[in-house]
Structure 1
Amino acid sequence: MSSSAAPAAPSAIPSEVFEPPVLAEVVRSGFVEGHHRGSLVVLAADGSVELALGDPAAPVFPRSANKPMQAAAVLRAGLDLAGERLALAAASHSGEAFHLELVHTMLAEHGLTADDLRTPPDLPLDPAEAEAYLAAGRVRERITMNCSGKHAAMLAACALNGWDRAGYLDPAHPLQQLVHQVVEEAAGETVTAVGTDGCGAPLMAISLVGLARAFRGFVLAEPGTAERRVADAMRAHPAYVAGTRRPDTWLMRELPGTLSKMGAEAVQAVALADGRALAFKVDDGATRALGPVLARTLRLLGIDAPVVDRIGHAPLLGGAGEVGEIRATF
């Protein structure tokens, strides 16, 4: 009788595997059917860490939450933007008519057209705007992509400085090198990875602590600096940063002095006028958890306002009615 080979030993399994905490749970008809895990940090007014959940020191791609820093970079490159134009340079706009009109204007002011944009053709970010856009028989366009304001500002900075416009998204481009520098200075840490964002622009990875620190720094920066100019423009014109039906707009409009910006894959950063700041990321990228997690964090900071309730309301539907909710668990 031949002997068979002994089975291979199972791979070693670490006795302790880090698992981020549950930040929000999905409750349907009284039954918890899912969880959203992630990491979160809250900075006190003096910049110290007041609350940390998960691993907020680990690097993440902030996605569009990096846009205030990208907008500050185009100002440092010499581009003179202010008001709605500067807010749109830091925007993930909804694709509403006033957004698209201003992007066209910004491009034309520097001898550029929508054909110069290197954003991928897309529909408006706002679902209602997308439906109306399609109903009008229109197709995906570069200018409709939610990052077109940022790209228009980047192209304008290139035109001003005589930099290559066709390759403005190359990480080695002078403008993107300046963005890299601004991100590191604002976050107070080294960029640990460079990727490509959904719009095609280089994307710098920093920690959630660094992201919160950057937003805090923008709010507290000296008037007239690039950082403060971006923060002031975003807070003065929040509808250009997001849209008329977006939580960032509601928060900046209804809590004076607040700077707020979300990013894809469920990233959110906020700084209050007194220097307190927060940043978090939901690991599975579910943006439906953003509102409940943000609202709970703001309440922990003592913010009690109708806008917090509005942002935190995330109902689950069953048929034509509400049968549950997504709710924060910390």
Structure 2
Amino acid sequence: MRFTPLVEEYRGGVLENVHYGAIAVVDENGGLLYSAGDPEHLTFLRSAAKPFQAIPVMKRRIDEAYGLAGHEAALFAASHRGEAFHIDALESMMRKIGIDERQLHCCATYPLNEDAKAERHRAHEAKRKIFHNCSGKHTGLLALCKHMGWDESSYYDPEHPVQKEIVQALAYIAEVPESSIPQGVDGCGLPIFALPLHKIGYSFLKLACPDLIEDAATREAAARMAKLMNEHPDMIADTRFVCSALLKDPNLSAKGGAKGVYGIGLRKERIGISLKVSDGSEQVWPCIIASILERLQYGNRETIDRLYELVPNTIVNDGGTEVGHRRAVFEWNA
């Protein structure tokens, strides 16, 4: 693994921590424009795969088949953090589809959002599968199984038709052979896939610019999913998280995943970006992404400022006193 320093963190003027990783920036032909570290690094997409895992669902227009509202269908690609409006939408979806929370393969847990978690604890509520950040994805796949008459109890099996269609869609969009895609098991229990880092960037570029997708059905499905993500950004994560902050910009398609992986597509510029933080940190995503956009001379300063507001480069202690700073230090490969 050829990782390079991406972010340095200083406390009291002393270098305290370095976050290593890799970045790939690609053009509309999939060619590398810029990179830092190894752009070929094989990377599990984790939750960054969700927009692509939703392609078979969107191809069958499952949202229309079950009368789902736009903010509900957006949850197909979400890593929601369990705020009340997320749970309300999920419960509404399940009623419309006619499935039960117990059918979800993801485990019962508490919301990722700390305030939402505290609310559930104060109410003495037990863990629920619907609180899991991947429950929207699972709900969409169950709805597809119900619609197609496929077995609903084994939708997580790699040999299940829904999982076969997912890997086919991902391979097609990334332009790699299916046989070249390693699979593992994600945190929610579904199959998850690994691609070279630059192929993740290329896939997100196609999500942003679906005209690059030749197959009409796949192109339309990707366009519809991307549109829902931009129209309902707070459904994709929550009111104060990187994915939602980026998706408020209609020029961007964006989604992150566990262990530091992130993908972004820029529509007007027709550029794809992917990154991997080797220690899995999500806290440094805003610093890295904002720096990439600045180096690309991205025109929407509001988006960049929104990232710095989420996680300022100023480091403060528990009492709010400034004690250090972080800065992006990566250099593009020659």
| C-alpha distance in 1 between matches for 2:142 and 2:247 | 27
Mapping of residues 66-77 of structure 1, within 5 Å: 66-77=49-60
The answer for the alignment partner of 2:234 in structure 1 is 239
Task: State the alpha-carbon separation in 2 of the partners of residues 58 and 247 from structure 1.
Answer: 23
Pick one of 208, 211, 216 that aligns with 2:205: 216
Report how many residues are paired. Answer: 312
User: Paired residue for 1:30?
Assistant: 13
What SS class does the counterpart of residue 299 from structure 1 fall into? helix
The residue aligned with 1:159 is 146
Cα RMSD (Å): 1.7
Shift of 1:314: 4.3
2:113 is the counterpart of 1:122: no
**Aligned partner (choices 253, 256, 269) of residue 263 of structure 2:** 269
Give 1:316 deviation, angstroms: 2.8
* Partners of 1:22 and 1:38 within 8 A in 2: yes
* 1:256 correspondence with 2:250: yes
- State the 1:119 CA deviation: 0.9
Cα deviation 1:185-213 (Å, max 9, x = unaligned): 11111343100111111101111111111
User: Which residue is 1:9 aligned to?
Assistant: none
Q: Secondary structure at the match of 1:139?
A: coil
Match of 1:188 in 2: 175
Deviation of 1:77 (Å): 4.5
Alignment partner, residue 40 of structure 1: 23
Aligned residues with identical type, % of pairs:
33
Compared CA separation, residues 315 and 131, structure 1 to 2 (3 A):
farther
* Aligned equivalents of 2:60, 2:164: Cα separation in 1: 11
Match for residue 92 of structure 2 among 105, 127, 137: 105
Offset, 1:102: 1.2
Shift of 1:19: 4.0
- Kindly provide the amino acid, as one letter, of the partner of residue 251 in structure 1: L
Contact in 2 for aligned 1:57/1:207 (Cα 8 Å): yes
Q: Secondary structure of 1:140's match?
A: coil
Distance 2:60 2:313 in 1: 41
Q: Measure, in 2, the Cα distance between the counterparts of 1:65 and 1:306.
A: 24
Counterpart CA distance in 2 for 1:183 and 1:50 is: 22
Shift of 1:107: 1.4
Q: Deviations over 1:72-113 (max 9, x none)?
A: 121235524562233110000011111111111111212101
| Larger fraction in helix | 2
TM (normalized to structure 2)? 0.89
- Preserved CA contact (<8 Å) 1:42 1:276: yes
Alignment match, 1:204: 193
SS at match of 1:50: strand
Q: Deviations over 1:128-168 (max 9, x none)?
A: 22222222212221000011011000000001111111111
Residue number among 120, 139, 157 corresponding to 1:170 in the alignment: 157
Per the alignment, residue 317 of structure 2 pairs with 318
Determine whether 1:309 maps to 2:305.
Answer: yes
1:221–1:19 CA distance, 2 compared to 1 (3 A): closer
Give unmatched runs, 5+ long, in structure 2. Answer: none
Residues of 2 paired with 1:111 and 1:289: CA distance?
40
- The equivalent of 1:52 in structure 2 is 35
The amino acid of 1:178's aligned partner reads: E
The answer to whether the 8 A contact 1:142-1:148 is kept is yes
What's the secondary structure of 1:288's corresponding residue? coil
* Structure 1 unaligned blocks of 5 or more: 1-17
Q: Distance in 2 between matches of 1:134 and 1:294?
A: 34
Asked if the contact 1:86–1:234 (Cα under 8 Å) also holds between the matched residues in 2, the reply is: no
Counterpart in the other structure of 1:285: 280
TM-score under structure 1 length normalisation: 0.90
Equivalent AA in structure 2 for residue 317 of structure 1: V
The letter of the residue matching 1:79 is I
Q: Which has the larger radius of gyration?
A: 1
Provide the rounded CA distance (Å) in 2 between the counterparts of 1:74 and 1:58: 29
The one-letter code sitting in structure 1 at the alignment partner of 2:111 is: P
